[in-house]
Amino acid sequence: MKLGCIADDLTGATDLALMLSREGLRTVQTIGVPDPDLNLSDADAVVVALKSRTIPAQEAIEQSLAAAEALLKVGARNLFFKYCSTFDSTDEGNIGPVTEALLAFTGSDFTLACPAFPANGRTVYKGHLFVNGVPLHESSMKDHPLTPMQDSNLVRVLQRQTKLSVGLVTFEDIEAGPDAIRSAFEREKAAGHQIVIVDALTDDHLRAIGLAAADLPLITGGSGVAMGLPAAYRASGASALSPRDEGFDAPAGREIILAGSCSSATRRQVEIAIERGIPALRLDPMDLASGKVTSQTALAWLAAQPANGPVLIYSTASPDDVQDVQRRLGRMNAGEIVEATLAEIAQALPELGFTRLIVAGGETSGAVVKALSVDALTIGPEIDPGVPWTRSLAGADLALALKSGNFGAPDFFLKAWSMLR
Ligand SMILES: Nc1ncnc2c1ncn2[C@@H]1O[C@H](COP(=O)(O)OP(=O)(O)OP(=O)(O)O)[C@@H](O)[C@H]1O
Ligand SMILES: O=C(O)[C@@H](O)C(=O)CO
């Protein structure tokens, strides 16, 4: 196995696994540290999905090191730390502290940090992160409930999180290609920096960075910066990659969308699905909290729906509604009530013949996948940038599309099904 990856959330892990798989690595995703009995001998890359983005930094370090150890044990030669393309973090971490710990673990003194993902509108220019052309601190991420991003200068953002010195490699070096990028890394190292923020505006930039960085013991970033790694491994001949498994069959069965994300992309996708006539049930957190509506209510509703097309169960709501609910129930409590209900519904789905699931939202996906006891996934075709179909490797046989809140085109919930055989 060539690359061992540690992702700080579930849908982010799937995003990275898709990138590696699309570029030619046979990739398996595990939910949490892989079970020692799981056969990973065929994999070129393993992506371990953690839920460590917003937990205390020390816990994130411990979980990430446990994942790194497990990955080296199953043969990983290089490590990749995946975080969000909007650099979701606070001054306490966890990007800085985890990077520091993984650098020390690999015995290395240099790595890069690059969240750029141009296909999803995330670019880095002169060290500043832009989201669809808007500086990060002016984008909707400025109001994120857990990780409000109020500074788009990533050198400053990361420097506040780490005692390592943070440098910058700007697009002039990146444009000049892999040799210039390697020289820039040497220059930054000589200047005493151990982590460099790296500019990238295009996929060509990311591919050049991949070629320059492929030998680093640790790379950190969004899924974009992994784009060039498979080609670099092939070019170096260092690893004979496994032949690609082209087939992706989904188990036969009913189709359902569970949406617990309230991000703007999901809100639009829910609207469109309802407009186009997908039978839909809205879960109101206040009704769930009072017991007026339970998972049983939703299961009874499901039983009455036609079996020949997808159905939607959602708690998706506008920012004002979410704020109102959070004020009344508490932010964490509101989230947990919704997640617990969607998880209970998910647990009953295989029995009811549902084998094809789209789940919207990282936290929601975590809760649903746990309820279904899915602990590893193979990666299928891309539905939209950052979101593949996947298939469970053990337990109930399911096709799953785990969608980050802000990913996917407006018709995502309609078109995804047509890709399943
Ligand atoms: N109507 C609602 N009111 C309050 N909280 C809600 C509501 N609906 C869902 N939630 C909670 O909001 C959180 C949404 O987080 P989740 O990670 O699933 O989505 P996201 O943040 O859009 O996705 P991502 O993390 O992939 O960007 C969950 O904890 C969910 O339970
Ligand atoms: O990088 C991204 O934007 C996503 O993979 C993600 O991590 C969303 O939570």
Q: What is the pLDDT of residues 261-294, one digit of tens each?
A: 998 899 999 999 999 999 999 999 999 999 999 9
Nearest to 387 by CA among 406, 368, 371: 406
Determine the Cα–Cα distance for residues 292 and 312; give it in Å rounded to an integer: 20
Nearest CA to ligand 1 atom 6: 335
Nearest CA to ligand 1 atom 27: 405
Residues 411 and 272 sit within 8 Å (Cβ to Cβ): yes
Determine the Cα–Cα distance for residues 105 and 153; give it in Å rounded to an integer: 27
Determine the Cα–Cα distance for residues 401 and 192; give it in Å rounded to an integer: 43
- Residue 189: phi, psi to the nearest 5? -60, -45
Residues 45 and 27 sit within 8 Å (Cβ to Cβ): yes
Residues 118 and 224 in one domain: yes
Whole-number Å distance, alpha carbon 125 to ligand 1 midpoint, is 30
Whose tokens are 């979410």? That residue is: 322
How does residue 145 score in pLDDT terms, banded at 50, 70 and 90? low
DSSP state of 192: T
Determine the Cα–Cα distance for residues 240 and 263; give it in Å rounded to an integer: 41
- Give the pLDDT of residue 244: 57
**Residue-wise pLDDT tens digits, 337-383:** 999 999 999 999 999 999 999 999 998 999 999 999 999 999 999 99
Residues 407 and 296 in one domain: yes
Residues 296 and 386 in one domain: yes
Determine the Cα–Cα distance for residues 63 and 30; give it in Å rounded to an integer: 14
Whole-number Å distance, alpha carbon 119 to ligand 2 midpoint, is 13
Structural domain range at position 7: 3-236
- The number of distinct structural domains making up the chain is 2
Residues 393 and 356 sit within 8 Å (Cβ to Cβ): no
How does residue 36 score in pLDDT terms, banded at 50, 70 and 90? confident
- Residue 153: phi, psi to the nearest 5? -85, 100
Residues 67 and 106 in one domain: yes
Nearest to 96 by CA among 156, 31, 153, 146: 156
Residues 27 and 170 in one domain: yes
Of ligand 1's listed atoms, the one at least distance from the Cα of 338 is: 31
- Closest ligand to 405 CA? 1
353 in any annotated domain: yes
Of ligand 2's listed atoms, the one at least distance from the Cα of 122 is: 3
- Longest Cα–Cα distance of the chain, Å, equals 67
Whole-number Å distance, alpha carbon 404 to ligand 2 midpoint, is 6
Residues 301 and 413 in one domain: yes
Whole-number Å distance, alpha carbon 330 to ligand 1 midpoint, is 13
How does residue 140 score in pLDDT terms, banded at 50, 70 and 90? confident
Mean pLDDT confidence for 164-192:
98
Look at residues 209, 236, 263 and tell me which one is the last residue of a structural domain. Answer: 236
**pTM beyond 0.80, yes or no:** yes
Look at residues 205, 236, 267 and tell me which one is the last residue of a structural domain. Answer: 236
Look at residues 236, 269, 303 and tell me which one is the last residue of a structural domain. Answer: 236
- Closest ligand to 366 CA? 1
Residues 306 and 227 in one domain: no
248 in any annotated domain: no
Nearest to 358 by CA among 316, 389, 397, 395: 389
Residues 394 and 269 in one domain: yes
Instruction: Tell me: ipTM over 0.85.
Output: yes
- Closest ligand to 387 CA? 2
Determine the Cα–Cα distance for residues 231 and 237; give it in Å rounded to an integer: 10
Residues 295 and 203 in one domain: no
**CB-ligand 2 contact for 89 (6 Å cutoff):** no
- Closest ligand to 360 CA? 1
Instruction: List the CATH number of the domain containing 146.
Output: 3.40.50.10840
Of ligand 1's listed atoms, the one at least distance from the Cα of 315 is: 8
What are the C-alpha distances in Å from 309 to residues 259, 272, 356, 363, 413? 17, 16, 11, 26, 12
Whole-number Å distance, alpha carbon 46 to ligand 2 midpoint, is 17
Mean pLDDT confidence for 224-253:
79
335 in any annotated domain: yes
Determine the Cα–Cα distance for residues 215 and 237; give it in Å rounded to an integer: 12
Determine the Cα–Cα distance for residues 186 and 110; give it in Å rounded to an integer: 10
From the CB of residue 240, how many other CB atoms can be counted at a distance below 10 Å?
A: 9
Residues 258 and 231 in one domain: no
- Residue 161: phi, psi to the nearest 5? -100, -5
Residue 97 structure tokens: 């502290």
Pocket of ligand 1 (CB under 6 A): 11, 260-263, 266, 285, 315, 317, 322, 325-326, 334-335, 338-339, 361-364, 404-406
